[in-house]
Structure 1
Amino acid sequence: MAIANPYHRIWRPMSGYSWLNRMWEEDSSVPTLDYLHDFDFADQQEMNSLLTTARLIIRDLYELFNYVEPNNINLQTYSHRLYELLLRAATEFEANCKAILDANEYVKTGGGNLNITDYFKIEAATKLSDYVVSFDRWPNHDFKPFYAWSSGIFAPLPWYQGYNQVKHNRYANFHKANFDNVMNAVAGLLCILHAQIGERMDPVCFEGIAVQQNTQDEVVNGTFTIKAPTFTDAEKYGFIWDDSKGVKVAVKDFIF
Protein backbone atom coordinates (compact mmCIF):
# COMPACT_ATOMS: atom_id res chain seq x y z
CA MET A 1 0.00 0.00 0.00
CA ALA A 2 1.46 3.36 -1.05
CA ILE A 3 2.28 6.14 1.43
CA ALA A 4 -0.87 8.20 2.01
CA ASN A 5 0.79 11.55 2.78
CA PRO A 6 4.05 13.12 1.64
CA TYR A 7 6.89 13.70 4.07
CA HIS A 8 8.32 17.19 4.22
CA ARG A 9 10.92 17.76 1.51
CA ILE A 10 11.12 14.04 0.72
CA TRP A 11 10.35 13.08 -2.88
CA ARG A 12 9.07 9.66 -3.90
CA PRO A 13 7.66 8.37 -7.20
CA MET A 14 3.90 8.82 -7.34
CA SER A 15 1.86 5.63 -7.66
CA GLY A 16 -0.62 5.92 -10.50
CA TYR A 17 1.00 9.02 -11.92
CA SER A 18 1.46 9.48 -15.65
CA TRP A 19 3.04 12.35 -17.51
CA LEU A 20 -0.38 12.75 -19.16
CA ASN A 21 -1.66 13.90 -15.77
CA ARG A 22 0.18 17.16 -16.43
CA MET A 23 -2.66 17.96 -18.79
CA TRP A 24 -5.10 17.70 -15.92
CA GLU A 25 -3.41 19.64 -13.14
CA GLU A 26 -6.76 21.16 -12.20
CA ASP A 27 -8.40 17.73 -11.95
CA SER A 28 -8.26 16.84 -8.26
CA SER A 29 -9.25 13.23 -8.91
CA VAL A 30 -5.94 12.10 -10.44
CA PRO A 31 -2.44 11.90 -8.90
CA THR A 32 -0.39 14.94 -9.88
CA LEU A 33 2.90 16.49 -8.83
CA ASP A 34 1.39 19.75 -7.68
CA TYR A 35 2.34 18.93 -4.07
CA LEU A 36 5.96 19.70 -5.01
CA HIS A 37 5.00 23.35 -5.50
CA ASP A 38 3.12 23.72 -2.24
CA PHE A 39 4.38 25.41 0.94
CA ASP A 40 2.86 22.55 2.96
CA PHE A 41 5.48 20.30 1.35
CA ALA A 42 8.47 22.68 1.33
CA ASP A 43 9.21 26.38 1.65
CA GLN A 44 8.97 27.31 -2.03
CA GLN A 45 10.97 30.53 -1.75
CA GLU A 46 13.84 28.64 -0.13
CA MET A 47 13.54 25.84 -2.68
CA ASN A 48 13.78 28.29 -5.57
CA SER A 49 16.89 29.81 -3.99
CA LEU A 50 18.53 26.38 -3.70
CA LEU A 51 17.68 25.59 -7.33
CA THR A 52 19.09 28.91 -8.52
CA THR A 53 22.34 28.38 -6.63
CA ALA A 54 22.71 24.87 -8.08
CA ARG A 55 22.15 26.23 -11.59
CA LEU A 56 24.92 28.80 -11.09
CA ILE A 57 27.29 26.09 -9.88
CA ILE A 58 26.50 23.96 -12.94
CA ARG A 59 27.03 26.98 -15.20
CA ASP A 60 30.43 27.71 -13.67
CA LEU A 61 31.41 24.05 -13.85
CA TYR A 62 30.67 23.99 -17.57
CA GLU A 63 32.66 27.19 -18.02
CA LEU A 64 35.59 25.44 -16.34
CA PHE A 65 35.24 22.57 -18.82
CA ASN A 66 36.36 25.02 -21.49
CA TYR A 67 39.80 25.20 -19.86
CA VAL A 68 40.27 21.74 -18.35
CA GLU A 69 38.98 18.83 -20.40
CA PRO A 70 36.39 16.74 -18.53
CA ASN A 71 38.12 13.40 -18.86
CA ASN A 72 39.07 10.62 -16.45
CA ILE A 73 42.75 11.32 -17.04
CA ASN A 74 42.23 14.70 -15.34
CA LEU A 75 40.46 13.43 -12.21
CA GLN A 76 43.39 14.42 -9.97
CA THR A 77 43.83 17.87 -11.54
CA TYR A 78 43.44 20.60 -8.94
CA SER A 79 43.37 24.38 -9.05
CA HIS A 80 42.03 27.49 -7.35
CA ARG A 81 38.93 27.44 -9.54
CA LEU A 82 38.26 23.82 -8.63
CA TYR A 83 38.80 24.71 -4.97
CA GLU A 84 36.18 27.44 -5.28
CA LEU A 85 33.66 25.08 -6.89
CA LEU A 86 34.31 22.34 -4.33
CA LEU A 87 33.55 24.70 -1.46
CA ARG A 88 30.44 26.06 -3.12
CA ALA A 89 28.99 22.67 -4.07
CA ALA A 90 29.73 21.03 -0.71
CA THR A 91 28.38 24.04 1.19
CA GLU A 92 25.16 23.86 -0.82
CA PHE A 93 24.91 20.14 -0.09
CA GLU A 94 25.09 21.00 3.60
CA ALA A 95 22.45 23.71 3.22
CA ASN A 96 20.05 21.26 1.59
CA CYS A 97 20.64 18.61 4.25
CA LYS A 98 20.08 21.09 7.07
CA ALA A 99 16.85 22.27 5.44
CA ILE A 100 15.54 18.70 5.16
CA LEU A 101 16.38 17.89 8.77
CA ASP A 102 14.92 21.15 10.01
CA ALA A 103 11.68 20.66 8.07
CA ASN A 104 11.33 17.23 9.67
CA GLU A 105 11.94 18.52 13.19
CA TYR A 106 15.22 16.70 13.66
CA VAL A 107 16.89 17.35 17.00
CA LYS A 108 20.54 16.40 17.36
CA THR A 109 21.22 14.21 20.36
CA GLY A 110 23.36 16.18 22.79
CA GLY A 111 22.92 19.38 20.80
CA GLY A 112 25.68 21.12 18.86
CA ASN A 113 26.15 21.82 15.17
CA LEU A 114 24.93 19.38 12.54
CA ASN A 115 27.58 17.37 10.72
CA ILE A 116 27.88 14.58 8.18
CA THR A 117 26.71 11.91 10.64
CA ASP A 118 23.46 13.86 10.95
CA TYR A 119 23.15 14.22 7.17
CA PHE A 120 23.59 10.45 6.88
CA LYS A 121 20.21 10.02 8.57
CA ILE A 122 18.56 11.30 5.40
CA GLU A 123 19.81 8.20 3.57
CA ALA A 124 17.10 5.95 5.02
CA ALA A 125 14.33 8.07 3.53
CA THR A 126 15.93 9.00 0.21
CA LYS A 127 18.25 6.10 -0.75
CA LEU A 128 20.95 8.59 -1.71
CA SER A 129 23.44 5.74 -2.05
CA ASP A 130 21.50 4.38 -5.05
CA TYR A 131 21.66 7.60 -7.09
CA VAL A 132 23.76 7.70 -10.26
CA VAL A 133 24.66 10.97 -12.01
CA SER A 134 26.33 11.47 -15.36
CA PHE A 135 27.26 14.63 -17.25
CA ASP A 136 26.85 15.16 -20.97
CA ARG A 137 30.33 16.72 -21.25
CA TRP A 138 31.96 13.85 -19.31
CA PRO A 139 30.96 10.75 -21.28
CA ASN A 140 31.34 7.18 -20.08
CA HIS A 141 31.73 8.08 -16.42
CA ASP A 142 29.03 7.68 -13.77
CA PHE A 143 29.26 9.44 -10.43
CA LYS A 144 27.87 7.77 -7.30
CA PRO A 145 28.63 10.34 -4.60
CA PHE A 146 26.91 8.44 -1.77
CA TYR A 147 27.95 4.91 -2.64
CA ALA A 148 29.90 4.67 0.64
CA TRP A 149 26.54 4.62 2.44
CA SER A 150 25.16 1.66 0.48
CA SER A 151 25.71 -0.77 3.37
CA GLY A 152 23.27 1.19 5.52
CA ILE A 153 26.06 1.94 7.99
CA PHE A 154 27.68 5.35 8.16
CA ALA A 155 30.97 5.67 6.31
CA PRO A 156 32.91 8.81 5.32
CA LEU A 157 32.29 10.21 1.85
CA PRO A 158 35.70 10.71 0.18
CA TRP A 159 34.69 13.92 -1.61
CA TYR A 160 33.21 15.39 1.56
CA GLN A 161 36.34 14.49 3.50
CA GLY A 162 38.40 16.22 0.81
CA TYR A 163 36.22 19.30 1.09
CA ASN A 164 36.73 19.51 4.85
CA GLN A 165 40.46 18.88 4.62
CA VAL A 166 41.10 21.57 2.02
CA LYS A 167 38.73 23.98 3.75
CA HIS A 168 40.56 23.74 7.08
CA ASN A 169 44.11 23.59 5.72
CA ARG A 170 44.28 24.63 2.10
CA TYR A 171 48.05 24.81 1.89
CA ALA A 172 48.60 21.24 3.09
CA ASN A 173 45.57 19.73 1.33
CA PHE A 174 45.23 21.81 -1.80
CA HIS A 175 45.48 18.67 -3.94
CA LYS A 176 42.12 17.59 -2.48
CA ALA A 177 40.50 20.37 -4.53
CA ASN A 178 40.65 18.07 -7.53
CA PHE A 179 38.26 17.27 -10.37
CA ASP A 180 37.21 13.98 -8.81
CA ASN A 181 36.07 15.59 -5.57
CA VAL A 182 34.47 18.53 -7.37
CA MET A 183 32.46 16.33 -9.72
CA ASN A 184 31.23 14.13 -6.87
CA ALA A 185 30.32 17.20 -4.81
CA VAL A 186 28.30 18.64 -7.70
CA ALA A 187 26.71 15.24 -8.34
CA GLY A 188 25.92 14.99 -4.62
CA LEU A 189 24.24 18.38 -4.75
CA LEU A 190 22.09 17.26 -7.70
CA CYS A 191 21.14 14.08 -5.82
CA ILE A 192 20.07 15.86 -2.63
CA LEU A 193 18.00 18.29 -4.71
CA HIS A 194 16.32 15.50 -6.65
CA ALA A 195 15.65 13.65 -3.39
CA GLN A 196 13.49 16.62 -2.42
CA ILE A 197 11.75 17.67 -5.62
CA GLY A 198 12.19 14.89 -8.20
CA GLU A 199 10.74 16.05 -11.50
CA ARG A 200 11.14 19.74 -10.64
CA MET A 201 14.84 19.65 -11.54
CA ASP A 202 14.30 21.48 -14.85
CA PRO A 203 15.43 24.91 -13.52
CA VAL A 204 18.90 23.49 -12.78
CA CYS A 205 19.47 22.57 -16.42
CA PHE A 206 22.15 24.79 -17.92
CA GLU A 207 22.23 23.53 -21.51
CA GLY A 208 19.58 21.94 -23.66
CA ILE A 209 15.96 21.15 -22.84
CA ALA A 210 14.95 18.99 -19.89
CA VAL A 211 13.05 15.85 -20.84
CA GLN A 212 10.62 14.38 -18.36
CA GLN A 213 10.69 10.59 -18.28
CA ASN A 214 7.34 8.82 -17.90
CA THR A 215 8.82 6.31 -15.47
CA GLN A 216 9.72 9.00 -12.90
CA ASP A 217 13.10 7.36 -12.36
CA GLU A 218 15.23 9.66 -14.52
CA VAL A 219 15.81 13.33 -15.20
CA VAL A 220 17.54 13.78 -18.55
CA ASN A 221 18.60 17.05 -20.14
CA GLY A 222 21.40 18.51 -22.18
CA THR A 223 23.59 18.97 -19.11
CA PHE A 224 23.22 15.94 -16.85
CA THR A 225 21.30 12.73 -16.24
CA ILE A 226 20.08 11.67 -12.81
CA LYS A 227 19.05 8.06 -12.26
CA ALA A 228 16.91 7.86 -9.16
CA PRO A 229 16.66 4.92 -6.74
CA THR A 230 14.07 2.19 -7.16
CA PHE A 231 11.17 2.25 -4.72
CA THR A 232 8.72 -0.57 -4.06
CA ASP A 233 4.99 0.07 -4.45
CA ALA A 234 4.71 0.36 -0.67
CA GLU A 235 7.47 3.00 -0.62
CA LYS A 236 5.90 5.20 -3.30
CA TYR A 237 3.50 8.05 -2.68
CA GLY A 238 -0.14 7.39 -3.37
CA PHE A 239 -2.44 10.30 -2.65
CA ILE A 240 -4.58 13.04 -4.10
CA TRP A 241 -2.93 16.22 -2.87
CA ASP A 242 -6.17 18.10 -2.28
CA ASP A 243 -7.14 15.37 0.19
CA SER A 244 -3.75 15.13 1.89
CA LYS A 245 -2.81 18.81 2.00
CA GLY A 246 -2.15 20.09 5.48
CA VAL A 247 -2.09 16.65 7.13
CA LYS A 248 0.64 16.42 9.77
CA VAL A 249 2.79 13.33 9.21
CA ALA A 250 4.87 11.53 11.83
CA VAL A 251 7.98 12.05 9.76
CA LYS A 252 10.43 11.37 12.57
CA ASP A 253 9.28 7.76 12.80
CA PHE A 254 9.91 7.40 9.08
CA ILE A 255 13.24 9.14 8.68
CA PHE A 256 14.96 8.85 12.03
Structure 2
Amino acid sequence: MGFDRPFHRNYRPVKKGHNSGYSDWAYIVDHLYSDHPEHYTRAFEILQKDIIGLFEYVEPSDINLVTYSFRIHELLIRTCIEVEANFKAILRENTFNPIFRNGPKKGQPRPEKNWNINDFRIVNKTHHLDDYSIIFPHWHGVKNERFPFRQWKKNEPLTWYQAFNKCKHDRLHNFEQASLGNLLDAFSGLCVLLSSQFRTESFSTGSDSLVVNTDNYYGGGFGIGGFLIVDFPSDWTEDEMYEFDWAKLKKEENRFSKIDFNKYS
Protein backbone atom coordinates (compact mmCIF):
# COMPACT_ATOMS: atom_id res chain seq x y z
CA MET A 1 0.00 0.00 0.00
CA GLY A 2 1.05 3.58 -0.62
CA PHE A 3 0.51 6.66 1.56
CA ASP A 4 -3.01 8.06 1.49
CA ARG A 5 -1.94 11.70 1.91
CA PRO A 6 1.21 13.65 1.09
CA PHE A 7 3.90 14.52 3.63
CA HIS A 8 4.97 18.10 4.14
CA ARG A 9 7.78 19.10 1.76
CA ASN A 10 8.14 15.62 0.30
CA TYR A 11 7.51 15.14 -3.41
CA ARG A 12 7.27 11.50 -4.49
CA PRO A 13 5.37 9.73 -7.28
CA VAL A 14 1.66 9.00 -7.10
CA LYS A 15 0.60 5.50 -8.12
CA LYS A 16 -0.98 5.29 -11.54
CA GLY A 17 -4.73 5.46 -11.32
CA HIS A 18 -7.74 7.75 -11.60
CA ASN A 19 -6.66 11.39 -11.59
CA SER A 20 -3.04 10.46 -10.78
CA GLY A 21 -1.66 12.96 -13.28
CA TYR A 22 -3.32 15.83 -11.45
CA SER A 23 -2.60 14.33 -8.03
CA ASP A 24 1.11 14.08 -8.84
CA TRP A 25 1.64 17.83 -8.58
CA ALA A 26 -1.45 19.74 -7.42
CA TYR A 27 -0.84 19.24 -3.67
CA ILE A 28 2.49 21.08 -3.97
CA VAL A 29 0.77 24.45 -4.41
CA ASP A 30 -1.57 23.97 -1.46
CA HIS A 31 -0.76 26.59 1.20
CA LEU A 32 -0.62 23.95 3.94
CA TYR A 33 1.98 21.83 2.14
CA SER A 34 4.92 24.09 3.02
CA ASP A 35 5.66 27.30 4.85
CA HIS A 36 6.46 30.13 2.40
CA PRO A 37 8.02 27.94 -0.32
CA GLU A 38 8.63 30.99 -2.52
CA HIS A 39 11.16 32.17 0.08
CA TYR A 40 13.36 29.21 -0.88
CA THR A 41 12.78 29.12 -4.64
CA ARG A 42 13.44 32.85 -4.99
CA ALA A 43 16.77 32.48 -3.18
CA PHE A 44 17.66 29.64 -5.55
CA GLU A 45 16.83 31.66 -8.64
CA ILE A 46 18.92 34.62 -7.42
CA LEU A 47 21.85 32.26 -6.89
CA GLN A 48 21.29 30.74 -10.31
CA LYS A 49 21.41 34.16 -11.91
CA ASP A 50 24.74 34.87 -10.20
CA ILE A 51 26.21 31.50 -11.19
CA ILE A 52 25.20 32.01 -14.81
CA GLY A 53 26.90 35.41 -14.53
CA LEU A 54 30.04 33.67 -13.25
CA PHE A 55 30.04 31.60 -16.45
CA GLU A 56 30.76 34.81 -18.37
CA TYR A 57 34.24 34.75 -16.79
CA VAL A 58 34.82 31.07 -15.96
CA GLU A 59 33.67 28.73 -18.70
CA PRO A 60 31.69 25.71 -17.45
CA SER A 61 34.06 22.96 -18.52
CA ASP A 62 35.99 19.96 -17.25
CA ILE A 63 39.28 21.84 -17.22
CA ASN A 64 37.94 24.65 -15.04
CA LEU A 65 36.50 22.50 -12.25
CA VAL A 66 39.58 23.17 -10.06
CA THR A 67 39.42 26.94 -10.60
CA TYR A 68 38.90 28.87 -7.37
CA SER A 69 38.41 32.53 -6.48
CA PHE A 70 36.86 34.93 -3.99
CA ARG A 71 33.75 35.12 -6.14
CA ILE A 72 33.37 31.34 -6.21
CA HIS A 73 34.00 31.25 -2.46
CA GLU A 74 31.16 33.73 -1.89
CA LEU A 75 28.77 31.73 -4.06
CA LEU A 76 29.72 28.45 -2.36
CA ILE A 77 28.99 29.91 1.09
CA ARG A 78 25.66 31.36 -0.03
CA THR A 79 24.64 28.13 -1.73
CA CYS A 80 25.43 25.93 1.27
CA ILE A 81 23.57 28.29 3.59
CA GLU A 82 20.52 27.71 1.38
CA VAL A 83 21.13 23.95 1.46
CA GLU A 84 21.07 24.04 5.25
CA ALA A 85 17.96 26.24 5.27
CA ASN A 86 16.08 23.72 3.11
CA PHE A 87 17.13 20.76 5.23
CA LYS A 88 15.98 22.57 8.36
CA ALA A 89 12.64 23.48 6.79
CA ILE A 90 11.98 19.84 5.88
CA LEU A 91 12.78 18.63 9.39
CA ARG A 92 10.97 21.51 11.11
CA GLU A 93 7.72 21.13 9.20
CA ASN A 94 7.54 17.41 9.84
CA THR A 95 8.33 15.73 13.18
CA PHE A 96 11.90 15.93 14.47
CA ASN A 97 12.80 16.15 18.16
CA PRO A 98 16.53 15.43 18.59
CA ILE A 99 18.21 15.43 21.99
CA PHE A 100 21.76 15.93 23.20
CA ARG A 101 23.30 12.47 23.54
CA ASN A 102 26.40 13.47 25.47
CA GLY A 103 27.80 16.23 27.66
CA PRO A 104 26.18 18.31 30.39
CA LYS A 105 22.95 18.70 28.35
CA LYS A 106 22.55 14.95 27.74
CA GLY A 107 18.89 14.06 27.33
CA GLN A 108 17.77 17.65 26.78
CA PRO A 109 16.15 18.83 23.53
CA ARG A 110 18.69 19.89 20.90
CA PRO A 111 17.50 23.15 19.30
CA GLU A 112 17.48 23.86 15.57
CA LYS A 113 20.61 26.00 15.79
CA ASN A 114 22.49 22.83 16.77
CA TRP A 115 21.22 20.66 13.92
CA ASN A 116 24.00 19.49 11.62
CA ILE A 117 24.81 17.42 8.54
CA ASN A 118 24.24 14.18 10.46
CA ASP A 119 20.67 15.31 11.12
CA PHE A 120 20.22 16.45 7.53
CA ARG A 121 21.33 13.07 6.24
CA ILE A 122 18.16 11.35 7.48
CA VAL A 123 16.20 13.32 4.87
CA ASN A 124 17.85 11.12 2.27
CA LYS A 125 15.83 8.15 3.51
CA THR A 126 12.52 9.82 2.68
CA HIS A 127 13.46 12.01 -0.29
CA HIS A 128 15.87 9.71 -2.21
CA LEU A 129 18.37 12.55 -2.64
CA ASP A 130 21.18 10.17 -3.57
CA ASP A 131 19.27 9.01 -6.66
CA TYR A 132 18.91 12.44 -8.26
CA SER A 133 21.30 13.77 -10.86
CA ILE A 134 21.65 17.24 -12.34
CA ILE A 135 22.86 18.15 -15.83
CA PHE A 136 24.37 21.50 -16.80
CA PRO A 137 23.22 22.17 -20.38
CA HIS A 138 26.11 24.49 -21.31
CA TRP A 139 29.39 22.62 -20.92
CA HIS A 140 32.73 21.84 -22.54
CA GLY A 141 33.74 18.26 -21.78
CA VAL A 142 32.01 15.26 -20.29
CA LYS A 143 31.56 16.14 -16.59
CA ASN A 144 28.39 18.16 -16.86
CA GLU A 145 26.28 15.61 -14.97
CA ARG A 146 26.55 16.02 -11.22
CA PHE A 147 25.45 13.58 -8.51
CA PRO A 148 25.61 15.77 -5.39
CA PHE A 149 24.36 13.21 -2.85
CA ARG A 150 25.69 9.99 -4.39
CA GLN A 151 28.40 9.66 -1.71
CA TRP A 152 25.69 9.00 0.83
CA LYS A 153 24.99 5.73 -0.98
CA LYS A 154 28.42 4.58 0.15
CA ASN A 155 28.03 6.04 3.63
CA GLU A 156 30.65 8.66 2.79
CA PRO A 157 30.65 12.39 3.63
CA LEU A 158 29.75 14.91 0.94
CA THR A 159 32.98 16.33 -0.50
CA TRP A 160 31.42 19.66 -1.44
CA TYR A 161 29.89 20.16 2.00
CA GLN A 162 33.21 19.41 3.67
CA ALA A 163 34.84 21.94 1.34
CA PHE A 164 32.27 24.52 2.39
CA ASN A 165 33.07 24.02 6.07
CA LYS A 166 36.82 24.10 5.51
CA CYS A 167 36.93 27.31 3.52
CA LYS A 168 34.28 28.93 5.74
CA HIS A 169 36.27 28.39 8.94
CA ASP A 170 39.78 28.85 7.52
CA ARG A 171 39.72 30.47 4.11
CA LEU A 172 43.41 31.33 4.14
CA HIS A 173 44.58 27.72 4.30
CA ASN A 174 41.67 26.13 2.45
CA PHE A 175 40.99 28.70 -0.25
CA GLU A 176 41.42 26.16 -3.05
CA GLN A 177 38.43 24.26 -1.64
CA ALA A 178 36.29 27.09 -3.02
CA SER A 179 36.51 25.54 -6.48
CA LEU A 180 34.11 25.64 -9.38
CA GLY A 181 33.58 21.89 -9.03
CA ASN A 182 32.54 22.16 -5.38
CA LEU A 183 30.32 25.13 -6.13
CA LEU A 184 28.50 23.33 -8.93
CA ASP A 185 28.05 20.22 -6.79
CA ALA A 186 26.64 22.38 -3.98
CA PHE A 187 24.33 24.22 -6.37
CA SER A 188 23.23 20.88 -7.83
CA GLY A 189 22.54 19.69 -4.28
CA LEU A 190 20.37 22.73 -3.66
CA CYS A 191 18.47 22.06 -6.88
CA VAL A 192 17.95 18.44 -5.82
CA LEU A 193 16.62 19.51 -2.42
CA LEU A 194 14.13 21.90 -3.98
CA SER A 195 13.10 19.33 -6.61
CA SER A 196 12.54 16.72 -3.90
CA GLN A 197 10.09 19.12 -2.23
CA PHE A 198 8.44 21.04 -5.07
CA ARG A 199 9.14 19.10 -8.27
CA THR A 200 9.38 21.92 -10.87
CA GLU A 201 7.14 24.48 -9.13
CA SER A 202 8.85 27.86 -8.69
CA PHE A 203 5.86 29.63 -7.06
CA SER A 204 6.31 32.56 -9.40
CA THR A 205 3.58 35.18 -9.65
CA GLY A 206 1.14 35.51 -12.52
CA SER A 207 -1.75 33.46 -13.84
CA ASP A 208 -1.46 29.81 -14.75
CA SER A 209 -1.13 29.06 -18.43
CA LEU A 210 -1.25 26.05 -20.69
CA VAL A 211 2.18 24.52 -21.22
CA VAL A 212 2.87 22.94 -24.59
CA ASN A 213 5.74 20.45 -24.73
CA THR A 214 7.87 20.61 -27.87
CA ASP A 215 11.18 19.16 -28.98
CA ASN A 216 14.10 20.71 -27.14
CA TYR A 217 17.74 21.05 -28.18
CA TYR A 218 18.87 19.98 -24.69
CA GLY A 219 16.39 17.17 -24.28
CA GLY A 220 14.11 18.91 -21.80
CA GLY A 221 13.45 17.99 -18.19
CA PHE A 222 14.34 21.43 -16.83
CA GLY A 223 13.84 22.01 -13.13
CA ILE A 224 13.00 25.06 -11.07
CA GLY A 225 14.47 28.15 -12.68
CA GLY A 226 14.51 26.61 -16.16
CA PHE A 227 18.29 26.17 -16.45
CA LEU A 228 19.36 22.89 -14.87
CA ILE A 229 18.08 19.55 -16.14
CA VAL A 230 16.82 17.33 -13.33
CA ASP A 231 16.80 13.53 -13.49
CA PHE A 232 14.31 12.42 -10.84
CA PRO A 233 14.65 9.09 -8.97
CA SER A 234 13.08 6.02 -10.53
CA ASP A 235 13.65 3.63 -7.62
CA TRP A 236 10.55 4.33 -5.53
CA THR A 237 8.89 1.12 -4.37
CA GLU A 238 5.12 0.68 -4.49
CA ASP A 239 4.95 1.01 -0.70
CA GLU A 240 6.79 4.35 -0.81
CA MET A 241 4.52 6.01 -3.36
CA TYR A 242 1.53 8.21 -2.70
CA GLU A 243 -1.93 6.81 -3.41
CA PHE A 244 -4.72 9.38 -3.35
CA ASP A 245 -7.05 11.44 -5.52
CA TRP A 246 -6.12 15.02 -4.74
CA ALA A 247 -9.39 16.35 -6.19
CA LYS A 248 -11.13 14.64 -3.26
CA LEU A 249 -8.39 14.88 -0.63
CA LYS A 250 -7.92 18.64 -0.97
CA LYS A 251 -11.41 19.17 0.46
CA GLU A 252 -10.42 17.55 3.78
CA GLU A 253 -9.13 19.58 6.69
CA ASN A 254 -6.33 17.14 7.54
CA ARG A 255 -5.00 16.53 4.05
CA PHE A 256 -1.28 16.29 4.90
CA SER A 257 0.80 13.99 7.08
CA LYS A 258 4.07 14.50 8.91
CA ILE A 259 7.12 12.31 8.49
CA ASP A 260 8.40 11.03 11.83
CA PHE A 261 12.10 11.71 11.37
CA ASN A 262 12.78 10.66 14.96
CA LYS A 263 12.66 7.01 13.91
CA TYR A 264 15.51 7.61 11.45
CA SER A 265 17.77 9.53 13.81
- TM-score bin, normalised by smaller chain: 0.7 to 0.9
Q: Given the alignment of the two structures, is residue 249 of structure 1 paired with residue 257 of structure 2, yes or no?
A: yes
Match in the other structure for 1:146: 149
CA distance in 2, matches of 1:211, 1:138: 27
Q: What's the offset of the Cα at 1:77?
A: 0.3
Moved more, 242-251 or 33-42: 242-251
Letter of the 1:83 partner, please give it. H
Question: Following superposition of structure 1 onto structure 2, how do residues 25-40 of structure 1 map, counting pairs within 5 Å?
Answer: 31=23, 33-40=25-32
Q: Given the alignment of the two structures, is residue 101 of structure 1 paired with residue 91 of structure 2, yes or no?
A: yes
| TM-score normalised by the chain length of structure 1 | 0.83
1:41 to 1:20, Cα distance in 2 relative to 1, 3 A: closer
Letter of the 1:195 partner, please give it. S
Contact 1:133–1:144 at 8 Å: present in 2 too?
Answer: yes
| TM-score normalised by the chain length of structure 2 | 0.80
Q: What's the offset of the Cα at 1:61?
A: 0.4
Q: What's the offset of the Cα at 1:2?
A: 2.4
Contact 1:211–1:219 at 8 Å: present in 2 too?
Answer: no
1:128 to 1:18, Cα distance in 2 relative to 1, 3 A: farther
Aligned counterpart in structure 2 of residue 89 of structure 1, from 69, 79, 90: 79
Q: Between the two structures, name the one with larger relative contact order (CA 8 Å, sep ≥ 6).
A: 2
Letter of the 1:240 partner, please give it. D
More strand by share: 1
Q: Given the alignment of the two structures, is residue 42 of structure 1 paired with residue 34 of structure 2, yes or no?
A: yes
RMSD: 2.6
1:47 to 1:189, Cα distance in 2 relative to 1, 3 A: same
Q: Given the alignment of the two structures, is residue 51 of structure 1 paired with residue 59 of structure 2, yes or no?
A: no
CA distance in 1, matches of 2:213, 2:137: 16
Question: Following superposition of structure 1 onto structure 2, how do residues 13-28 of structure 1 map, counting pairs within 5 Å?
Answer: 13-16=13-16, 21=21
Match in the other structure for 1:188: 189
Q: What's the offset of the Cα at 1:159?
A: 0.2
CA distance in 2, matches of 1:173, 1:185: 17
CA distance in 1, matches of 2:165, 2:56: 27
Question: Following superposition of structure 1 onto structure 2, how do residues 61-210 of structure 1 map, counting pairs within 5 Å?
Answer: 61-110=51-100, 111-112=110-111, 113-138=114-139, 140=142, 141-151=144-154, 153=155, 155-201=156-202
Structure 1: give runs of 5+ residues left out of the alignment.
23-30, 204-209
Letter of the 2:39 partner, please give it. S
Match in the other structure for 2:104: none
Letter of the 1:114 partner, please give it. W
Match in the other structure for 1:219: 221
Cα offsets for 1:84-131 (capped at 9, x unmatched): 110011100000000000011211231150000000010000111111
Structure 2: give runs of 5+ residues left out of the alignment.
101-109, 205-210, 215-219
More helix by share: 1
